[in-house]
Structure formats: structure tokens, C-alpha cells
Amino acid sequence: MLGFLKGDPKKKLQKEYEAKLQKALHAQRNGDLRTHGTLMEEAEKIYAELQKMDKE
């Protein structure tokens, strides 16, 4: 009934993906390559979920 009040899960994942990329960029610039790698791996998992949602 009030479906328009519910958040869009794809939009939420997109924001989370962009935030991970931003954090990874800052980690790389600060020379923390281990954290950069971890954040990029997490971002790739989120991106895979986004791609899966696009196919459905």
C-alpha cells in the first residue's frame, strides 16, 4: 500500500559501493595498501550484487 515509503535496495547498494570506493581511494593515497585491497574486495562484492540485481 505504501510502497513508495520503502527504500530502494539497489540505490542503497549503489551508495554503499561508492562509499567503499571513496574509502579505498583515501587509503591508497595515504599509503595503506592493505586496507585499500580489503576495501576494493568488498566493493567488488557489492558491485557483483548490483549486477545481479540488474539482471533480475
The pTM (predicted TM-score) of the whole model is 0.83
Q: What is the mean pLDDT of residues 16-36?
A: 97
| Torsional class of 31: left (φ above 0), alpha (ψ -120 to 50), beta (otherwise) | left
Task: Please report, rounded to a whole number, the percentage of residues in the chain having pLDDT higher than 70.
Answer: 91
Per-residue model confidence (pLDDT) at position 37: 97
**Whether residue 27 has pLDDT greater than 80:** yes
Percent of residues, the chain, with pLDDT higher than 90 = 75
Find the mean pLDDT for residues 29-41. 97
Task: Spell out the long-range contacts of 47-51 with Cβ–Cβ below 8 A and sequence spacing 24 or more.
Answer: 47/17, 49/13, 50/10, 50/13, 50/14, 50/17
